[in-house]
Structure 1
Amino acid sequence: MARGGPTPGCEQPGAPSLACRHFIRKPPSAHAPFCRGSCSWFEMLKPLVEKRRRDRINRSLEELRLLLLERTRDQNLRNPKLEKAEILEFAVGYLRERSRVEPPGVPRSPAQDAEALASCYLSGFRECLLRLAAFAHDASPAARAQLFSALHGYLRPKPPRPEPVDPRPQAPRPPLDPAAPAP
Structure 2
Amino acid sequence: MSFRQLFILTTALSLISSPVAADFGITPFAGYRMGSSIDIESASASTKDQIKFKDSVSQGIVLNFDLPEAGKQGELYFGRQDTSAKLDSGLFTTGAQATDVTIYQLQFGGLYFPGRKTHGGFASGVLGVTRLEPKGSGFDTEHRLALSLGGGYQFLLNDSLRLRLDLRGIYTALDSGGSVLCSGGCELTYRSSGYLQIEAGAGLVLRF
TM-score (norm. length: structure 1): 0.19
Tell me: higher relative CO, structure 1 or 2? Use CA pairs within 8 A at least 6 residues apart: 2
Which structure shows the bigger proportion of residues in helix conformation?
Answer: 1
Which structure shows the bigger proportion of residues in strand conformation?
Answer: 2
TM-score (norm. length: structure 2): 0.18
